[in-house]
Amino acid sequence: MLALLVLVLPLTLAADRDVLNICMDGKHHKTKPGFEGKLYRQCEPWRENACCTANTSIEAHNDQSYLYNFNWNHCGIMTERCKRHFIQDTCLYECSPNLGPWIQPVDQSWRKERILDVPICKSDCEEWWNDCGQDYTCKSNWHKGWDWSSGTNICPEDSKCVKFSDMFPTPRDLCENVWSKSYKYTSHDRGSGKCIVLWFDAGVKPNPNEEVARYYAIQKGLISASRSVSPCHLVLLPLLLARALS
**Could you tell me which residue, 213 or 111, shows the higher pLDDT?**
213
Q: Which of 142, 130, 126 is nearest to 182 (CA)?
A: 142
Compute the average pLDDT of residues 17-33: 87
Cα separation values, 95 from 18, 22, 47, 167, 211, Å: 16, 10, 8, 28, 17
Cα separation values, 170 from 78, 121, 126, Å: 19, 15, 8
| 3-class state of residue 123 by DSSP | helix
pLDDT for residue 133 is more than 60: yes
- pLDDT, tens digit, 9 for 90 and up, residues 174-203: 999 999 999 999 999 999 999 999 988 866
For the chain, which residues make up each domain, given as ranges?
1-17+227-246, 20-144+158-222
Cα separation values, 96 from 71, 114, 115, 179, 199, Å: 23, 13, 11, 17, 10
**What percentage of the chain carries pLDDT values higher than 90?**
59
| 3-class state of residue 37 by DSSP | coil
Angle 2-14/231-245 helices, nearest 10 degrees?
A: 130
pLDDT at 149: 93
Q: 217 - beta bridge partners?
A: none
**Could you tell me which residue, 6 or 120, shows the higher pLDDT?**
120
pLDDT at 18: 87
Asked whether the whole model's pTM tops 0.75, one would answer yes
